[in-house]
Chain A
Amino acid sequence: MSTETAKGLRQPKRANEALFRTLGVEPVPDDKKVAEAVRHLDEFRQKLRSFVVIMENCVKCGLCAENCHTYLGTKDPNNIPAGRADLIRKAYKRYFTPQGRLFGPLVGAEELTLETLEKWYSYFYQCSECRRCSHTCPFGLDTAEITMVGRQILFWLGIGPQLHTATAGAILKTGNHMGLTKAGIIDTLEFLAEEIEEDYEGLKVDLPVDKPESDILYVPSSADFMLNPNTLKGAGMFFKWVGANWTISSRITEAGNFGYLMDQTRIQREMVTRLYEECTKLGIKKIVWGECGHGWRATKMYVRTYSDLPGVETIPLTHIHDEAAALIESGQLKLDPTRNSKRITLHDPCNYVRACGHCDQMRVIMRAVTTNFVEMTPNRERNFCCGGGSGILFDDPAMYEYRILASNKKAEQVRETGAEVLCAPCSICKAQLYPMVKEHKLGVEVVGLIDLVGHALVFPEE
């Protein structure tokens, strides 16, 4: 792809062709890209009802603009959700509607070009699929669906960010995003168990891997092994406290799902298939999910329709927050909230609150494990995205600058609470908020939610 066409557009660094070939995609040459993209659009048009209804029913009222953090941060009309969807809608009208064929630009129809595909690559990787547009739209039109279609088609053409594509490659090799091997996983967990022992007066917590005959499969985010070890420790302490027979699987040590973010066919399916294969192998009776927003949605809402294995209907699937909140509500968890006494606010991860129904659980836990909890505004399902949603955690300078712009709204929200600690129970939120806090000079500490539970748990030995 020539760099000339990409001029002036904010785009993440691309994955090379060889990488795409390892994922089963032969990159399409430039002169065939447009025709291929139109062919894929036609497939989606016949396959996916949400796509068709969103394409044909936007009235361009503009309500979504001020409700999208990317538009608020960049003031770029292509970042207005309706404007972003128009990058596809214009072609959709031109090729698939009589009015578009007959009247063209008059009704907003436009030929698809390589330049437009470059815009797709730029803007569909600025959208974080947070669904705030869908939540606020008078009709509920969900631009995240359009972003997903756009990213999928780009993937099939051989266009994708190095970050996402390499991560998808790591999934096929190791079953997690960070490329952790079984030896590495065991090593880290042993180290964390030692840390717990040191920090909590000799508390012995077992962090098992691939343990046969386990009842619970805990699926942590692989980022927890490197960036957020406290989340992993918190989960381990929680399972220890309730006396669960649990394990982590080294074949699916990943709560996230980058397949869901760029290739919802091959890669996403691989993840859910592995998940239920492991359940059979380890005798699992229930799956408990770790802290990851998009990954939880990709699992909770998609396994039923993506996995071919019968386990999806028989093995219950819950989030660790569901379990902790239920135990707190029944009064069985012994907690000392004074251990988390700093002024703390909660960032509601988009996928939890707008796609997975997690508003209440998080608050039940927050109130039980902290003493100085303050809500940010807006909160719950009206909350704004952190700016890193859907894995747009790019480090190349232009995109990094964008990440910080997209987090303007979040920084403003956090600042207004006057909190010292920012709880963000999602790996991608955490990865976005660490630099956000630094660049916006907020001076708050970023933590997960189950970290706080682990810290507040009162063990009988104590």
Chain B
Amino acid sequence: MEQFVGQIMPYFTVAIFLGGVTWRIWRWMIPRIVHNITLSPFPGTWTAAVTWWVWQIAIFWNILKFDRALWIGAFPFHAALIAIIGGHLMGIYTLGLQFHMIAPLLVTADLSVWLSDLLGTTMGLVFLVALLYLLYRRFTVEKVRAISSTSDFLHLFLLLGIAGLGNYMRLAPDAHMTYLEARTFLTGLFTFNPVALPHNAFFMWHFLLVQCLMIIFPFSKLMHVFGFFWMRWMVNRPYKEWAPGMPGAKVQLSK
């Protein structure tokens, strides 16, 4: 089991993830944008259109404006998720020295590790709390539950499992993992020279659930990460208006 999860399955997981995402996007690219369905007020230029998309992503503007109760959960959830993904990449790769590497004069190596721990723990907890809030909302708000299918709940439970195990490893001394243990294991995977999973059942489950998430990713609504851009590309784009002024009329626009 451990050998499969740690040394064999990851290669299939990554292949399914990358292949699946490519396939899904390929499918979106086959049909055409038949008509101009841009929403007005029209952005004047492509720069304005893209700025609007970025604004939407940066603070979830529409959710903030139209459903404050959802924003309280959705924004911290996604912000923490980004921080956590970044933290996993940077923290494990640099063994917690990322802040020292970015600003060596301002941050000592020890301080960097401390910061990395602090941020990781905080974001992990924020993520967990926001996740519980969203789950609670999906169960209790009637209009949301009415449009949810089982998989909508399962996604949240899966994330709950991943985040719960991650937080437990951070906070419970007997389950703790060092950056070095994780890096050694991952280096093996990335260099196609897989080594055994660290002896930590919590880590194995954490790692297994993340792989499950990556496998279902291309076959679920989680693709909304990419879908956002594909939809905004259609509904927020410049439109050039015909100029006013009536040919042949006695009164002509004075300009």
Task: Point out the residues of chain B lying under 8 angstroms from A140, CB to CB.
Answer: 39, 231-232, 234-236
Q: Closest approach, in angstroms, between the C-beta of A80 and any C-beta of chain B?
A: 6
A216 and B36 in contact, given A77-B146, A108-B149 (Cβ under 8 angstroms): no
Q: Are B242 and A136 in contact (CB under 8 A)?
A: no
List the A residue with the shortest CB-CB distance to B152. A60
List the B residue with the shortest CB-CB distance to A58. B221
A327 and B31 in contact, given A215-B246, A305-B36 (Cβ under 8 angstroms): no
Interface residues of A in 49-108 (CB under 8 A from B): 49-54, 56-63, 65-67, 71, 77, 80, 82-83, 86, 97-99, 103, 105-108
A56 and B150 in contact, given A243-B250, A305-B36 (Cβ under 8 angstroms): no
List the A residue with the shortest CB-CB distance to B24. A56
Q: Report Cα–Cα, A60/B154, bound state, in Å.
A: 13
A57 and B34 in contact, given A99-B220, A285-B248, A357-B42 (Cβ under 8 angstroms): no
Interface string of A316-332 (1 = CB under 8 A from B): 11100011011100111
Interface residues of B in 19-77 (CB under 8 A from A): 24, 27-42, 56, 60, 62-63, 65-67, 70, 74
Q: Are B244 and A49 in contact (CB under 8 A)?
A: no
Q: Report Cα–Cα, A332/B253, bound state, in Å.
A: 8
Find B228's partner among A47, A51, A139 (CB 8 Å cutoff): A139
Find B70's partner among A63, A107, A305, A323 (CB 8 Å cutoff): A63
Q: Are B255 and A56 in contact (CB under 8 A)?
A: no
B114 contacts partner chain A, Cβ-Cβ < 8 Å:
no
**Interface-central residue, A50, A67, A131, A357, by most chain B CB under 10 Å:** A50
Find B251's partner among A105, A138, A141, A243 (CB 8 Å cutoff): A243
Interface string of A31-62 (1 = CB under 8 A from B): 00000000000000111111111101111111
B151 contacts partner chain A, Cβ-Cβ < 8 Å:
yes
User: Which listed segment binds B: A5-13, A348-356, A406-414, A420-428?
Assistant: A348-356
B171 contacts partner chain A, Cβ-Cβ < 8 Å:
no
Task: Point out the residues of chain A lying under 8 angstroms from B246, CB to CB.
Answer: 215-216, 242, 244, 286, 288, 323
Q: Are B227 and A139 in contact (CB under 8 A)?
A: yes
B223 contacts partner chain A, Cβ-Cβ < 8 Å:
yes
Task: Point out the residues of chain A lying under 8 angstroms from B70, CB to CB.
Answer: 61-63
B191 contacts partner chain A, Cβ-Cβ < 8 Å:
no
A451 contacts partner chain B, Cβ-Cβ < 8 Å:
no
Q: Are B231 and A355 in contact (CB under 8 A)?
A: no
A19 contacts partner chain B, Cβ-Cβ < 8 Å:
no
Q: Report Cα–Cα, A8/B232, bound state, in Å.
A: 38
A49 and B31 in contact, given A215-B249, A288-B246 (Cβ under 8 angstroms): yes
B102 contacts partner chain A, Cβ-Cβ < 8 Å:
no
Q: Report Cα–Cα, A63/B68, bound state, in Å.
A: 10
B247 contacts partner chain A, Cβ-Cβ < 8 Å:
yes
A400 contacts partner chain B, Cβ-Cβ < 8 Å:
no
Q: Are B39 and A134 in contact (CB under 8 A)?
A: yes
Q: Are A63 and B67 in contact (CB under 8 A)?
A: yes
A137 contacts partner chain B, Cβ-Cβ < 8 Å:
yes
List the A residue with the shortest CB-CB distance to B227. A57
Q: Are A216 and B248 in contact (CB under 8 A)?
A: yes
Q: Are B37 and A145 in contact (CB under 8 A)?
A: yes
Known: A316-B243, A330-B253, A359-B41. 14 other contacts (CB 8 A): A48-B34, A50-B33, A50-B234, A52-B28, A53-B234, A57-B224, A99-B220, A105-B149, A107-B151, A107-B220, A108-B151, A216-B249, A302-B36, A354-B40
Using a CB–CB distance below 8 Å, which chain A residues touch chain B?
A: 45-54, 56-63, 65-67, 71, 77, 80, 82-83, 86, 97-99, 103, 105-108, 131, 134-142, 145, 215-216, 241-245, 285-286, 288, 301-302, 304-306, 316-318, 322-323, 325-327, 330-332, 353-359, 381
27 example contacts (A-B, Cβ-Cβ < 8 A) are as follows: A46-B31, A49-B33, A49-B234, A57-B223, A61-B63, A62-B141, A62-B147, A99-B220, A103-B151, A106-B149, A107-B220, A140-B39, A140-B235, A142-B231, A216-B249, A242-B251, A244-B246, A244-B249, A285-B248, A288-B246, A305-B35, A323-B245, A327-B251, A331-B254, A332-B254, A359-B40, A381-B41
